Chain A
Amino acid sequence: MNDKAPRLLFEKSRPGRGTDVIPRSDVPDRPLDSLLPASELASNLVPLPELGELDVVRHYTRLSQLNMAIDSHFYPLGSCTMKYNPKRNERLASLPGLASVHPYQDESTLQGILELLYDLQGILGEIAGLDAVSLQPAAGAQGELAALLTAAAYFRDRGEKRTKVLIPDSAHGTNPASAHLAGFDAVTIKSDSRGLVDMADFMSKHDDQTAVFMITNPNTVGRFDPQVVEIARALHDRGSLLYLDGANMNAILGVVRPGDMGVDLMHYNPHKTFSGPHGGGGPGAGPIAVRASLAPYLPAPIVVKRSDGVFALDYDRPKSIGRTRSFFGNVGVLVRAYCYIRAQGPEGLRRIAEHAVLNANYLLALIKEEYPVPFGDRCMHEFVASARGLARDRGIRAFDIAKGLIDRGFHPPTVYFPLIVSEALMIEPTECESRETLEEFARALLEIAAEDPEKLHEAPVTTPVCRPDEVAAARSPILIHPEASRAGIER
């Protein structure tokens, strides 16, 4: 920390400066201890900071300006598809007819939003090349879990006991976590020297106990695995299913349909592929699409169009795994995805994928001499470069490069993931960036590669908080302001 760090509200507080205006109470006062048991009461007054309203507004505005966001900075965070979130989507999603409806309203008054969701189910099914869709899961990882539970219900219904889910070592960490939560054993499949599925390892681990193979295609090193058709055939021959982690759909949108690759079930990340906002920890959405044979087990309800043209929520799904989210999932982010898809149209979606791949390949070509890309110099929507040589020869690690980029006005790429590349820098520019932005970013990376390592070890130097001690922060975090701590708030 240095002296540029904004002071906390606690530190700016002055006794008596509060500007709260509380109306006169119209019920008689009662002593606090007659309302709550003593054990629930704090022994000291909570030391809430006291400030003028304008001071508070300036404080939070300043903090928001310190943030790096897609609206202010190039944000090539690999695997996250940090594309522009069109303002049009925000405007449309906040229309009162969409934003103010309530799930407890009578269905006859919800026809507009139900029709939109019904159409979105159809659109996502079409893009996937699959038959049925549930919009309910609240995020990508919950979509994975819901889909694996759907697969588990499918096998149970067929009287089959299958224990294994096969997952490549380049996969997102959510894959094994979801498999485990769904009651399966996660079995790791190695990558080969090309960064693709090691077919020998796959064949040696695939047997009648395999329920699902979870593939990410293109995968996290930005390679499309053409073996997917062969993998699907081997799986289907033994009654197993192929799952697609849809995190990287931005690379193949409108070009390849997962269903045509042999995929049986998948999830989407609308906040990645369909321009939903990433911020604030949510709300997200993780719609899933499945083949007809799996449709009866999808979460309920599903939006249906009855023969009289009325849209309804169908709860009458006896084989369904049930609800995965209250009401109907996070509708706001689904509305944004719908607006984005409808604004782009089929040709627009394809162009997005093509430009995402072109941008990534252009950036790769600009930096590959200084930052070698172990899995080849062609990629899909993202690529993983390695700072191994720089770390070995000059003591400049991926971590230092990330910090140096902050000083140069760029959000860092994902670092140290996937684990199969040492000193990994995972870079995904998205289709939204101009050639000039890509060139500026490449220049910054090349400048960093030639920088004095000692200086880089200090980076970032332009931020209010410079390089924190990450080990100390993780081992003994201080989560409570001393002022609050003194007042016994940690209780």
Chain B
Amino acid sequence: MKPTDLRFTRTHEWVYVDGDVATIGVSRFAVDQLTDLIVIDLPEVGRKLSEGKSFGEIESVKAVSDLYSPIDGEVIEVNRAVAADVQILAQDPYEKGWLIKAKIADPAQVEKMLDHDAYQKAIAEESH
């Protein structure tokens, strides 16, 4: 997935929309900020997601951080490869490193998210 095709949250998750299915991951910026990743906790298929609520955790040598769901919905697929080896996420956050796929409950929520340019601006401010 090209980063320019994605929508982003201010908490550094990305979403790729295909019909009513959202693929969710975390941005390259977030991965770089976390530095060396140790382990990731992902939800089970069927788990209900709420916008802004945690759906998992990622641990690096620096800290344990929540993963926040960008949307309301339900998990329909989990990237088992990343759950088993989080280095895949470190190497390739936008392709092989996707985290979950979810059925979108409210498409309007995706519309409210940042596009690539707006996200770049937001992280430039953050690292200011």
Known contacts A388-B127, A419-B63, A422-B127; A470 and B33 CB within 8 A of each other = no
| Interface set, chain B 35-60, CB cutoff 8 A to A | 35-39, 59
How many Å from the CB of A412 to the closest CB on chain B? 14
Inter-subunit contact B38/A474 (CB<8 Å): yes
Closest to A398 in B: B62
How many Å from the CB of A468 to the closest CB on chain B? 11
A475 at the B interface (CB under 8 A): yes
A471 at the B interface (CB under 8 A): yes
B124 at the A interface (CB under 8 A): no
Inter-subunit contact A470/B63 (CB<8 Å): no
Inter-subunit contact B61/A422 (CB<8 Å): no
Inter-subunit contact A471/B36 (CB<8 Å): yes
How many Å from the CB of A423 to the closest CB on chain B? 9
A416 at the B interface (CB under 8 A): yes
Quick one: CB contact mask for A388-408 with B, threshold 8 Å, 1 for yes? Answer: 100000000101000000000
How many Å from the CB of A119 to the closest CB on chain B? 41
Quick one: CB contact mask for A446-482 with B, threshold 8 Å, 1 for yes? Answer: 0000000000000000000000001100110000000
The residue from B36, B39, B127 contacting A470, defined by CB atoms under 8 A apart = B36
Residues of the A chain whose Cβ atoms lie less than 8 Å from the Cβ of B65: 419
Closest to A419 in B: B63
| Interface residue count on the B side (C-beta < 8 Å) | 12
- Interface magnitude class on chain A: 10 to 19
Inter-subunit contact A471/B63 (CB<8 Å): no
In the complex, number of A-B residue pairs with CB atoms less than 8 Å apart: 23
A419 to B35, CA, bound (A): 13
Closest to A193 in B: B128
Inter-subunit contact B61/A474 (CB<8 Å): yes
The residue from A388, A416, A475 contacting B62, defined by CB atoms under 8 A apart = A416
How many Å from the CB of A464 to the closest CB on chain B? 21
| Interface set, chain B 58-78, CB cutoff 8 A to A | 59, 61-63, 65
A399 to B37, CA, bound (A): 15
| Interface set, chain A 405-437, CB cutoff 8 A to B | 416-417, 419, 422
Inter-subunit contact B33/A471 (CB<8 Å): no
Residues of the B chain whose Cβ atoms lie less than 8 Å from the Cβ of A470: 36, 61
Residues of the A chain whose Cβ atoms lie less than 8 Å from the Cβ of B61: 399, 470-471, 474
A397 to B60, CA, bound (A): 15
Residues of the B chain whose Cβ atoms lie less than 8 Å from the Cβ of A474: 38-39, 59, 61
How many Å from the CB of A479 to the closest CB on chain B? 16
A416 to B65, CA, bound (A): 12
The 17 listed contacts between A and B (C-beta, < 8 Å) are: A388-B127, A399-B61, A416-B62, A416-B63, A417-B63, A419-B63, A419-B65, A422-B33, A422-B127, A470-B61, A471-B36, A471-B37, A471-B38, A474-B38, A474-B39, A474-B61, A475-B39
What are the 5 tightest A-B residue pairs by CB atom distance, in nearest-first order? A416-B62, A474-B38, A470-B61, A471-B36, A475-B38
Known: A471-B37, A474-B39; 15 extra A-B contacts, CB below 8 A, are: A388-B127, A397-B35, A399-B35, A399-B61, A416-B62, A416-B63, A417-B63, A419-B63, A419-B65, A422-B127, A470-B61, A471-B38, A474-B38, A474-B59, A475-B39
